Amino acid sequence: MSKKSPIFHDISPTISESIAVFPGDTPFHVKTNMDFSQGHHLKLSEIHGTVHLGAHTDAPNHYHPQGQSIDERDLSIYFGECQVIEVSIDRKKRIQPSDIGVEITSPRVLFKTSSFPNPDNWNSDFNSLSVELVEFLKSKNVILVGIDTPSVDPEDSKALEAHNAIYKSDMAILEGIVLENVANGTYTLSAFPLKIKGADASPVRAVLME
């Protein structure tokens, strides 16, 4: 009997010069240095922009002075069993443990809030995580938490309460994912960061497999 092929769900937004970035951060830009249309023998491009681009994972040194850089992170964090949980709360609210409504069964959890619906159009009233939720996830042995918004904290947060609770809990962060067409359930996550020396984040090609 032949083995059934996995179904892939690409949960990464398309990276283009239209994609929104955090206010004040560096937009994405592509420069084409060589092209067939100009008589060259190949196409050759360069890119410029924030490392917090599209679907990305923060490194601990982004939010803590003693944190690891992205090239120092254990890759096993970013691959394995994952649970998608949809929550329905008011815009700009932080998710609380009482908002979940299902049992945590996987070591990686992604929250579908639908509060940042268009990656090319910035909106400030997206949902984020509460410290209480981070602590609850830690008690359930969660090692990675993700969300379909640009940040686990609100746009105007300077204290970065959720980021720092995640650092204290030694968890990883996955932000900027797209879960619009993904149902609640258990999947296999693949979201490896690039090995950028000293970097505070990395874009990823985040994929769920079932």
Query: 62 catalytic, yes or no?
Result: yes
48-52 contacts at long range (C-beta below 8 A, 24 or more positions apart)? 49/21, 50/21, 50/22, 50/25, 50/26, 50/201, 51/196, 51/199, 51/200, 51/201, 51/202, 51/203, 52/21, 52/22, 52/25, 52/150, 52/175, 52/176, 52/200, 52/201
Catalytic residue, candidates 9, 52, 56, 62: 62
Q: To the nearest 5 percent, what fractions of the chain are helix, strand and coil?
A: 15, 25, 60
CA distance 197 to 59: 11
8 Å CB contact between 148 and 179: yes
Structure tokens at 169: 């809990």
CA distance 129 to 30: 33
Q: Active-site residue numbers?
A: 62
